[in-house]
C-alpha cells in the first residue's frame, strides 16, 4: 500500500497509557501548529489501543486538560499486541506509528513486526538496549528492503542526548575525539516522580542485561577502530569541574545508542573517526553519590533473582523510596520539574589535525587540543520532553524523509535525523541548546 493512500499520517498506539495520554495532548498542539504554519498541511492522526472505552476517556480528559474541544473527535483504532491481525490492520492505515506501549521487552516486537511487514514507519520511546538492539538484529534488512524507518529511543531516552552530541559536534571548531555528558534532574517544589512502567522496564533491563553480549556479538561482529587518544571512563564517584558537581555513571541507554549511531555513521563515512562517549548523572553531594550507588547495587541484586524481582514489581513505591508508583507523578510535579545536560567535547582545531580513522594508532597523530562545552535545558523528562521529542521526530519522518537515510532500516535517532531540522524543531518547543565556550586545552 502506497503512503499516499494511507488514511492517517500518524497514529499513537497505547494512547490510554500514562505516557500515551501526554503524547495525545502534545500531538494536539503539534497538529494545531502544523495546520497554522502552512508548511505541509494539516496532520491527519488517530489514537489506538485495546479498549475503546479507555481511549474515549483519554480523549475527554486530554480535551479538558488542553481546552481543545477538537480532541474529542479524534478517530479511534482498536488494536491489541496479542492480536497480530489487529496490529497489521492498524499499521496499514498510517504512514507513521508511534508506540507508547511498554515495557517494550514484552509488548514491542509484535508492533515492530507489523510495521515492517506493512510498510509503516515506526517510532517509540524505549530506553531498553536489549529490545532496541535485538530489533536491529532481526528487522534491519527487511526494513531496508521495504523502505521503512524503524527508530527506537525517540523520547528523553535518547533524543536529547543524541541531538546534544550533534549540537556539540556542530559547535566545535574541528572533529571531536570524545564527549562527556553530565545530566542534572531539577525537581520543583513538589518533587519529582516516575510511573511504574519506567520502573518495570528498568527492573527487566537489569535482570536480563546478560543478553546484550550475545546480541552485540551477532549485530556487530567487527570492532570500531581503537582510538589513539582514549577517553578513560570516570570512577564510580567523581567530581566534575565543568559542572561543579559530584557525579555517578548514568545507568540509562544513552551510551549504547550513541555507540550504535557511531557505527551507522562509520558505514556511511568510512574515514570518520568514531566519537568516544560517556554520560554521567549529577547528584549534588558526595553523600548522595554514595547512597545512590548503594541503592543501585541493591536494586541490581534484587532484579537478578525471580523472587526479589517480584518484590520490586509489587512494591515500587517502597523500593524506589517513593519515586515510582502506579499513579505516576502529579500534574504539579510534571509542570515544575526540568532537566539540564552539559556536554564537554574534546577534539582538534581542524580536520587536518584530526586525521582520519585510517590513521589508527599512528604515532604522528596530534593530540586533541580544543574543548567545546554546550548545554541543553528542557522541561520534565519523562512526560513533557518525551512526547515533544517523539512527535517532533515523527514530524521529521513525515516532512523531511528526503533528508533521512535513503534505504530506511532500524536506526538510532542520531543516524536517522542527523541531516534534518530536528534540533530546530526541539528549540521551537522549548528545549534550549547553547554553546557555552570553546577553548584551547593543549597547554
Residue 141 Cα distances to 43, 102, 407, angstroms: 30, 24, 10
Measured distance CA(246)–CA(46) in Å, rounded: 45
Residue 358 Cα distances to 12, 103, 175, 260, 369, angstroms: 44, 41, 15, 20, 20
Per-residue pLDDT, 39: 66
Average pLDDT across each block of 10 residues of the chain; the chain has 443 residues. List them in order. Answer: 80 97 97 81 94 97 94 96 98 98 96 98 97 98 97 97 98 96 96 95 93 95 88 96 96 96 90 92 97 95 96 96 95 97 95 70 73 98 98 97 95 98 97 94 70
Print burial letters for 163-172: b (CB count within 10 Å at least 16), e (below 16): bbbbbbbebb
The conformation of residue 223, written as its DSSP 8-state character, comes to: P
Supply the pTM of this predicted model. Answer: 0.95
**Whats the size of the chain, residue-wise?**
443
Residue 178 Cα distances to 229, 279, 286, 311, 348, angstroms: 9, 11, 26, 40, 10
Contact between 433 and 399 (Cβ < 8 Å): no
Contact between 442 and 369 (Cβ < 8 Å): yes
- Strands 76-78 and 94-99 turn out to be unpaired
Contact between 372 and 438 (Cβ < 8 Å): yes
Residue 79 Cα distances to 71, 73, 99, 152, 423, angstroms: 20, 19, 12, 20, 33
Closest CA to 158 of 359, 341, 294, 318: 341
Per-residue pLDDT, 14: 98
Half-sphere exposure of 342 (CA within 13 A, CB side): 18
- Strands 94-99 and 238-240 turn out to be unpaired
Per-residue pLDDT, 227: 87
Amino acid at each position: 500500500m502506497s503512503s499516499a493512500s494511507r488514511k492517517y499520517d500518524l497514529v499513537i498506539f497505547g494512547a490510554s497509557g500514562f505516557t500515551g495520554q501526554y503524547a495525545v495532548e502534545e500531538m494536539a498542539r503539534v497538529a494545531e501548529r502544523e495546520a497554522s504554519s502552512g508548511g505541509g498541511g494539516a496532520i491527519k492522526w488517530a489514537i489506538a489501543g485495546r479498549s475503546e472505552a479507555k481511549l474515549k476517556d483519554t480523549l475527554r480528559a486530554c480535551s479538558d486538560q488542553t481546552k481543545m474541544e477538537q480532541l474529542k473527535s479524534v478517530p479511534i483504532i482498536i488494536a491489541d499486541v496479542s492480536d497480530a491481525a489487529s496490529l497489521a490492520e492498524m499499521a496499514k492505515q498510517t504512514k507513521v506509528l508511534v508506540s507508547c506501549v511498554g515495557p517494550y521487552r514484552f509488548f514491542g516486537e509484535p508492533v515492530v513486526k507489523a510495521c515492517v511487514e506493512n510498510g509503516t514507519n515506526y517510532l517509540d520511546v524505549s530506553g531498553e538496549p536489549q529490545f532496541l538492539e535485538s530489533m536491529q538484529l532481526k528487522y534491519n534488512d527487511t526494513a531496508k528492503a521495504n523502505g521503512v524507518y524503524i527508530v527506537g529511543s525517540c523520547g528523553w531516552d535518547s533524543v536529547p542526548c543524541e541531538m546534544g552530541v550533534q549540537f556539540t559536534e556542530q559547535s566545535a571548531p574541528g572533529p571531536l575525539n570524545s564527549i562527556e555528558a553530565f545530566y542534572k534532574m531539577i525537581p520543583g517544589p513538589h518533587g519529582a516522580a516516575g510511573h511504574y512502567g519506567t520502573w518495570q522496564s528498568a527492573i527487566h533491563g537489569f535482570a536480563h542485561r546478560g543478553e546484550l553480549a550475545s546480541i552485540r556479538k551477532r549485530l556487530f561482529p567487527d570492532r570500531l577502530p581503537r582510538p589513539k587518544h582514549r577517553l578513560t571512563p570516570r570512577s564510580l564517584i567523581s567530581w566534575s569541574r565543568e559542572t561543579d558537581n559530584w557525579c555517578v555513571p548514568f545507568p540509562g541507554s544513552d551510551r549504547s545508542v550513541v555507540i550504535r549511531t557511531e557505527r551507522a555513521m562509520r558505514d556511511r563515512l568510512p574515514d570518520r573517526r568514531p566519537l568516544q562517549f560517556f554520560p554521567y548523572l549529577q547528584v549534588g553531594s558526595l553523600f548522595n553519590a554514595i547512597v545512590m550507588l548503594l541503592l543501585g547495587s541493591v536494586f541490581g541484586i534484587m532484579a537478578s533473582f525471580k523472587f526479589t524481582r517480584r518484590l520490586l514489581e509489587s512494591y515500587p513505591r517502597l523500593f524506589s523510596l517513593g519515586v515510582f508508583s502506579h499513579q505516576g507523578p502529579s500534574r504539579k510535579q510534571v509542570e515544575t520539574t526540568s532537566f539540564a545536560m552539559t556536554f564537554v567535547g574534546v577534539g582538534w582545531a581542524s580536520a587536518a589535525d584530526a586525521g582520519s580513522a585510517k590513521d589508527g594508532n599512528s604515532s604522528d597523530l596530534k593530540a586533541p587540543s580544543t574543548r567545546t562545552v554546550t548545554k541543553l535545558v528542557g522541561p520534565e523528562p519523562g512526560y513533557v520532553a518525551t512526547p515533544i521529542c517523539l512527535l517532533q521526530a515523527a514530524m521529521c519522518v513525515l516532512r523531511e524523509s528526503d533528508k533521512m537515510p535513503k534505504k530506511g532500516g532500524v536506526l538510532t535517532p542520531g543516524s536517522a535525523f542527523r541531516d534534518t531540522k530536528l534540533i530546530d524543531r526541539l528549540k521551537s518547543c522549548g528545549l534550549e541548546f547553547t554553546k557555552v565556550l570553546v577553548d584551547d586545552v593543549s597547554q
